[in-house]
Amino acid sequence: MSRLADRAKSYPLASFGRALLPPELGGPLPAQFVQRVDRYVTRLPATSRFAVRAGLASLAAASYLTTGRSLPRLHPDERARV
């Protein structure tokens, strides 16, 4: 897989990780979060992997639709509201 495809796949997961456990409030760095969750998700059946990725994409879409901004660009309080 190309680096661009890797980044496109991990971007929603990193955004979700920052919203769930913001680094500025003591959470892991987005790269660490992506690595740990991706290791877990790759062990899931294909339908479950698809469901996880669809959920992350819908969360990213909800952020754009409700605030007009992506999750990483929001303040931690705004991320929690999305």
Residue 1 has what pLDDT? 46
pLDDT (average), residues 4-28: 75
Residue 7 has what pLDDT? 58
pLDDT in tens, 30-58: 888 888 988 998 899 999 989 988 888 88
Rounded CA gap, 47 and 11, in Å? 20
Answer yes or no: are the C-beta atoms of 50 and 58 closer than 8 Å: no
Full domain range(s) for residue 38: 3-81
**Look-up: residue for tokens 């680096």?**
3
Rounded CA gap, 60 and 82, in Å? 9
- Total number of domains constituting the chain: 1
pLDDT (average), residues 3-32: 76
